[in-house]
Structure 1
Amino acid sequence: MTTRLPHPHLLILAALASLGAQALPAAAQSPRVLSLAVSEGTSGGIDAATARRKYAPLAQRLEQALGDSVEVVFVREFAALEQGMKDGRYDFVVARPSDYPARGLRDHHYQYVANAEPDGQCMLAVRADSPVQSLEQLRGKTFVMPEEVAYMARFCRAELRDKGIDLAQESVFYVREQGAIPFGLENGIADVGGMASYSGAFRQWRDKDQRVLHQSVGQPYMPVVAAPTLSAAQLAKARKVLLELPQDPAGREFLRNLGISGFTDKGEERLRKLLEWLGV
């Protein structure tokens, strides 16, 4: 009986296939996709498609630096953002307001990468013709603030607390949208309003030559944090990407679209203390 041997080419192909299956690293077989979670809050005014376009330049630079694909994931609801960090679903998180990245550091072992410049502040605004000239004169006045659980309401409350004014003892209107605060001031509904320095409502107030009575201490704005699974080398590369954005026209354009001047890596200590300062 004659035994037919396999064709030599088939033997070679089989051997190569076997060798490749054994030698090829898992990462090479299935390239990793890193997630960049983006949240501008419920009043950020963008949807998922807009967020992907807006943050695509950053995702592309991170891809080049890290050698992995980076996918922009838009997260509108803060509860979903925190749950995602708790579950470790997001490799990078960039968010405003800043308390959720701070929760990532405190509660979910995320790592600080950088935060935007300039800092965020609570701006206490009064009408240009207001007789109020000092913080001390605010006692007994009527305040209008973002909704009570909002980050900026807590921010303004902490600032006023440090200046000796307890909002719990004052008359306060809380509104869902910061855009309602200038309306309340201009129409005499309230004497003083608290707005975020980076908000559209405050920019409009400033452009109308209205008055700022007091601007608070600065706190880290739009922090970027990374999952605990990312290595020190990956963090260093991501940080370098953020810090170098102002060095070329495309990077500067991206920063302009975010409404910031750049990123710094000097805010970690303050970000880690933020929640305690806010009293949460």
Structure 2
Amino acid sequence: MLCAPALAAQALSFAVNEGVSYRVPLSEIRTRYEGIAADLSKLLRQPVTIEPIGDYPTLRQGLADKRWELALVHPAHISIAAIRDQGYSLLAVTKGFTGYKASFLVRADSTLKSLAELRGQRLGAPDEDSITSMMVRATLRDNGVVPKQMEITYTRYQDAVPFFVENRLTHAGATASNALVKDWQDKGGKVLAASKAVPIKHIIASPQLSSEQVEKVRAYFLALDSSEDGRKKLEPTKWKGFEAYDQAALLKLGVWLDVK
């Protein structure tokens, strides 16, 4: 009985955030990562629990407080801040999401030819604190347009953006969903421009973990898709696997995104 509190104190927490602009129940996220948590518990010889985080303020504060030893963070700007300011380490990024871009959608009959022409116009975009909207604002800035020069309507869910444009509620809409962009183009809509690519969905580790633990976890995630058992663990998450990414390059993208 005396050992129980000590064992509980050694439990490690793995925060998982999959964004705010998609409809995914938190209970479902916990179930998706059960197999990975079990593997990590064996690897680190400590219980690892999954903690789904559904909103960015909680995610941001928890990382600032180093509340979690591990985290899968969808919004690149939040993990970049944790790496830069709280000493977190980038372990891996999610395969298939290293070329994440924000596309600017316009109607087929739109006369807009460049992003500079959006000055004074209306734009629909995902949640203001989403990585997509961070990319949108950075791209507009690169083209000489600042948010105060236009009317931006933010929406929690990305699938509302095409609706805004189609129904002339906005002159253009921005989304990073490949499925939405493809559907838009299939229906005759145009893509005015796209942002530069930013890798999203990062695995990061707290400075509270030892260098040995960090390397063990990094190796685990990088090799996860190389075995049948690992691929079975990935299936519920819907990720193809994880790959290495240069932390310095990620921090450089943070400068472009104007991460505060």
Interval of TM-score (by shorter of Structure 1 and Structure 2):
0.7 to 0.9
Task: Name the structure 2 match of 1:16.
Answer: none
Question: 1:220 touches 1:270 (CA, 8 Å); kept in 2?
Answer: no
The answer to whether structure 1 residue 160 and structure 2 residue 160 are counterparts is no
Q: Name the Cα RMSD after superposition.
A: 2.8
Q: CA deviation at 1:134?
A: 3.7
Query: 5 Å matches for 1:69-218?
Result: 69-117=47-95, 118-119=97-98, 120-197=100-177, 201-202=180-181, 204-205=183-184, 208=187, 210-218=189-197
CA deviations 1:77-114 (Å, max 9, x no partner) are: 22222222233221101121122222211222212211
Q: State the match for 2:7 in structure 1.
A: 30
Code of the residue aligned with 1:239 in structure 2: it is R
The answer to whether 1:247 aligns with 2:226 is yes
The answer as to whether partners of 2:72 and 2:204 remain within 8 angstroms in 1 is yes
**Contact 2:92–2:221 at 8 Å: present in 1 too?**
yes
**Is the 2:14–2:49 contact (alpha carbons within 8 Å) kept by the matching residues of 1?**
yes
Moved more, 41-50 or 203-212: 203-212
Q: Which amino acid aligns with 2:220?
A: V
2: CA distance, partners of 1:224 / 1:62: 13
Distance across 1 between alignment mates of 2:241 and 2:188: 27
Amino acid in structure 1 at the alignment position of 2:225: P
Percent of paired sites with the same residue: 31
Structure 1: tracts of 5 or more residues without a match? 1-20
In the TM superposition, residue 178 of structure 1 has moved relative to its aligned partner by: 1.9
Q: Deviations over 1:108-149 (max 9, x none)?
A: 221221111332221111234434344344445432122434
Larger RCO, structures 1/2 (Cα 8 Å, 6+ apart): 2
Residue 181 of structure 1, CA deviation:
0.8
User: What letter corresponds to residue 64 of structure 2 in structure 1?
Assistant: K
**Contact 2:21/2:127 (<8 A) preserved:** no
TM-score after normalising by structure 2: 0.83
Unmatched segments (≥5 aa) in structure 2: none
Q: Structure 1 residues 257 and 136 mapped into 2: Cα distance closer, same or farther (>3 Å)?
A: farther
- 2:106·2:191 contact (CA, 8 Å) conserved in 1? yes
| Number of equivalences | 254
Over 6 Å off, 4+ runs: none
- The one-character-per-residue Cα deviations of 1:11-36 (angstroms, maximum 9, x if unpaired) are xxxxxxxxxx9xxxx89x73732111
- Deviates most, 169-178 or 131-140: 131-140
Q: Which has the larger radius of gyration?
A: 1
Range with bigger deviation, 63-72 or 86-95: 63-72
Distance in 2 between the 1:53 and 1:75 partners?
13
